[in-house]
Amino acid sequence: MTPVPADGHVVIVGGSIAAATAARSLRNRGHAGRVTLISSEDHPPYARPPLSKAVLTGTDVPESAYLPELEGVELLLGVPAVGLDPAARTVALADGREVGYDGLVIATGARARTLPGGGDRVYTLRDLGDAQELGQLMRQGARLLVVGGGPLGMEVASVGRELGTEVTLVSDTPPMEALLGAHLGGLLVEAATAAGVEIVRQPVSEMQQDQAGRPVAVLADGRRVDGDVAFVAIGCQPNVEWLAGSGLAAGPRGLEVDEYLRVAPGIVAAGDVVAFPAESGCRRTPYWQSAFDQAVTAVEVLLGSGDAPHLPRPYFWTEQFGHHVKLVGSVVGDDAPEELPAAAGTVMRWRGSNGAPVGAAGIDCPLSITKLRKLLASA
Ligand X SMILES: Cc1cc2nc3c(=O)[nH]c(=O)nc-3n(C[C@H](O)[C@H](O)[C@H](O)COP(=O)(O)OP(=O)(O)OC[C@H]3O[C@@H](n4cnc5c(N)ncnc54)[C@H](O)[C@@H]3O)c2cc1C
- Interface residues with another protein (CB under 8 A) are 17, 20-21, 24-25, 28, 46-47, 49-50, 54, 64-69, 288-289, 292, 315, 317, 319, 324, 326, 343-344, 365-371
> For residue 118, which amino acid is it?
G
Instruction: Examine residue 320 and tell whether it contacts ligand X (CB under 6 A).
Output: no
Q: Which is nearer to ligand X, 239 or 297 (CB)?
A: 239
Tell the smallest beta-carbon distance from residue 281 to another protein (Å): 28
Tell the smallest beta-carbon distance from residue 251 to another protein (Å): 29
What, of ligand X, another protein, none, does residue 326 touch, CB below 5 to 8 Å by kind? another protein
Tell the smallest beta-carbon distance from residue 65 to another protein (Å): 5
Stretch that binds ligand X, among 39-47, 184-192, 205-213, 216-224 (CB under 6 A): 39-47
Cα separations (Å) of 202 from 17, 161, 212, 364, 373?
34, 21, 24, 30, 36
What, of ligand X, another protein, none, does residue 368 touch, CB below 5 to 8 Å by kind? another protein
Instruction: Examine residue 253 and tell whether it contacts ligand X (CB under 6 A).
Output: no
Q: Which is nearer to another protein, 173 or 368 (CB)?
A: 368
* Among residues 9, 31, 48, 161, the one that binds ligand X under rule CB under 6 A: 48
What, of ligand X, another protein, none, does residue 201 touch, CB below 5 to 8 Å by kind? none
Distance, C-alpha 323 to centroid of its chain:
20
* Among residues 12, 84, 110, 128, the one that binds ligand X under rule CB under 6 A: 110
**In angstroms, rounded to a whole number, what is the distance separating the alpha carbons of residues 346 and 351?**
17
CA gyration radius for the chain? 22
**In angstroms, rounded to a whole number, what is the distance separating the alpha carbons of residues 229 and 363?**
31
SS (H, E, C) the chain: CCCCCCCCCEEEECCCHHHHHHHHHHHHCCCCCCEEEECCCCCCCECCHHHHCHHHHCCCCHHHHECCCCCCCEEECCCCEEEEECCCCEEEECCCCEEECCEEEECCCEEECCCCECHHHEECCCCHHHHHHHHHHHHCCCCEEEECCCHHHHHHHHHHHHCCCCEEEEECCCCCHHHHHHHHHHHHHHHHHHCCCEEEECCEEEEEECCCCCEEEEECCCCEEECCEEEECCCEEECCHHHCCCCCCEECCEEECCCCCEEECCEEECCCCEEEEECCEEECCCCHHHHHHHHHHHHHHHHCCCCCCCCCCCEEEEEECCEEEEEEECCCCCCCCEEECCCCCEEEEEECCCCCEEEEEEECCCCCHHHHHHHHHCC
Instruction: Examine residue 52 and tell whether it contacts ligand X (CB under 6 A).
Output: yes
What, of another protein, ligand X, none, does residue 371 touch, CB below 5 to 8 Å by kind? another protein
Stretch that binds ligand X, among 58-66, 180-188, 284-292, 304-312 (CB under 6 A): 284-292
Size of residue set near ligand X by CB under 6 A:
35
Stretch that binds ligand X, among 1-9, 105-113, 177-185, 323-331 (CB under 6 A): 105-113
Q: Which is nearer to ligand X, 67 or 249 (CB)?
A: 67
What, of another protein, ligand X, none, does residue 67 touch, CB below 5 to 8 Å by kind? another protein
Instruction: Examine residue 239 and tell whether it contacts ligand X (CB under 6 A).
Output: yes
* Among residues 5, 33, 44, 49, the one that binds ligand X under rule CB under 6 A: 49
Instruction: Examine residue 99 and tell whether it contacts ligand X (CB under 6 A).
Output: no
* Among residues 11, 12, 16, 70, the one that binds ligand X under rule CB under 6 A: 16
Tell the smallest beta-carbon distance from residue 288 to another protein (Å): 5
Tell the smallest beta-carbon distance from residue 86 to ligand X (Å): 15
Tell the smallest beta-carbon distance from residue 52 to ligand X (Å): 4
**In angstroms, rounded to a whole number, what is the distance separating the alpha carbons of residues 37 and 338?**
46
Angle at 299 between CA 294 and CA 300, to 5 degrees: 100
Q: Which residues lie near ligand X (CB under 6 A)?
A: 13-19, 38-41, 48-49, 51-52, 80-81, 107-110, 125-126, 152, 239, 242, 271-272, 286-288, 291, 316-318
